[in-house]
Chains A and B, each alone.
Chain A
């Protein structure tokens, strides 16, 4: 006998899929900003990347996009966290995910908060100098902001690999909300 089991509530599916393009735009515009002064890459890589991705001399564009989409990214993230807490959905994590998954999903939410805070410290390093100070100063905040983003990319790769491995039934549940369970 097979049956349909509710897996992901509608709200969580929307938060998840809205976050995907928003994070992509934040990372892309962040790359445009980063390559104005690529502090963490050797010069050789710098020039190759410029040519391959056409990311040179696009700082103004990157900043304008970043400071537009940051609001959408931040609001979506905050609403997601509020929803998960208020609806009690977080309690179900124990039944839905294994230990490693729970750890990874908690980490990604904390990383999101870290990105917002380190971003604010870079954006307004005088008005929020205490925040920059907590991260080791202005350059420290930039360091945190950058490596958190590398963390997202790493998470994304593992996440997609896991979804592929888990199969269609699992992926479909993230879109339609229910999963087929064979008893």
Chain B
């Protein structure tokens, strides 16, 4: 090849290469614009929402009740953090409080009849921080076995007495051995801002699912509403 031929060939390859690059870049940009302008489903562009749901399907297929959240020692406990007062703003008469579940209205003493469970686990907030907390209470699975339909549905919904905050749970996560209805935190009764008299401690989920001041637990086959799930977050939010 002479230098002239080389120059010609180079010109051809350059034109072709840069044209392809321009088309690819344009397609990529158009794809991004398309994605970000899709109608939103519960706060997320629908393709993103679909992907969150596909990820959830995969996570639920892999989920095992035998995999536990790491357990810690007493000396690992960190300063508790108050983050979120949703559902806690209305006044609450602790004596009149009941847990409504499957037609029953239970007092804290009713719940204390179940085997007591204590665990020291990490509470991981969806914002990124985490704390080590000791929870004492009863296993949600134990309560569900007594106050629940013989054939469990696919989901569970929990809400505060004023419905200011509510979460939806898949049944596997609700039945996980580390999912507790907790009435004590770090060796003392739950403080009001940590969800007195009863809250959920569920280390297989982000903090947002660890609902405080539970008023009602409902069984449902229809995917229940979830406060943050309706605001752009992953409904599953599972670990």
Within 8 A of A (CB), among B101-148: 122, 124-130
> Chain A residues near B238 (CB, 8 Å)?
124
Return chain A residues, CB-CB under 8 Å to B48.
64-65, 68
With A and B bound together, what is the CA distance between A127 and B55 in angstroms? 14
The reply to whether the CB of B39 lies closer than 8 angstroms to some CB of chain A is no
The yes or no answer to B10 lying at the interface (CB within 8 A) is yes
Whether A2 pairs with B6 at a CB distance below 8 angstroms is: yes
Q: How close is A132's CB to chain B, nearest CB, in angstroms?
A: 8
Min CB gap A141→B, angstroms: 11
How long is the Cα–Cα vector from A178 to B10 in the complex, in angstroms? Answer: 8
Q: What residues of chain B lie closer than 8 Å to A65, measured between beta carbons?
A: 48
Chain B CB count within 10 A is highest, among A25, A126, A132, A172, for: A126
**Given A60-B232, A64-B49, A177-B17, also A33-B128 (CB < 8 A):** yes
- Pair B70/A36 contact, Cβ less than 8 Å: no
- Min Cβ gap B222→A in Å is 23
Q: Once bound together, how far apart are the Cα atoms of A132 and B69, in whole Å?
A: 11
Q: At the interface, yes or no: B155 with Cβ under 8 Å from chain A? A: no
| Chain B contact residues: helix, strand, loop or mixed | mixed
Is B34 an interface residue when CB atoms closer than 8 A count as contact?
no
Give CA–CA (A136, B108) in the complex, Å: 38
- Docked-complex contact B10 and A139, CB < 8 angstroms: no
Query: Across the interface, do B16 and A138 meet the contact criterion of CB distance under 8 Å?
Result: no
Instruction: Using known A-B contacts A3-B6, A127-B63, determine if residue A60 contacts B49 with beta carbons closer than 8 Å.
Output: no
Q: Knowing A60-B43, A60-B233 touch, does A126 contact B13 (C-beta < 8 A)? A: no
Q: B residues within 8 A CB of A164? A: none
CB <8 Å contact, A4 and B9:
yes
Which of B3, B44, B70 meets A129, CB within 8 Å? Answer: B70
5 more A-B residue pairs beyond the given contacts A60-B233, A126-B67, with a C-beta to C-beta distance below 8 A: A33-B128, A36-B128, A37-B127, A125-B124, A178-B10
Residues of A within 8 A of B (CB): 1-4, 17, 21, 25, 33-34, 36-37, 39, 59-61, 63-65, 67-68, 71, 124-127, 129, 132-133, 137-139, 142, 172, 175-178, 180
6 A-B pairs with the lowest CB-CB distances in the bound complex, closest first:
A60-B232, A176-B17, A37-B128, A64-B48, A126-B239, A37-B127
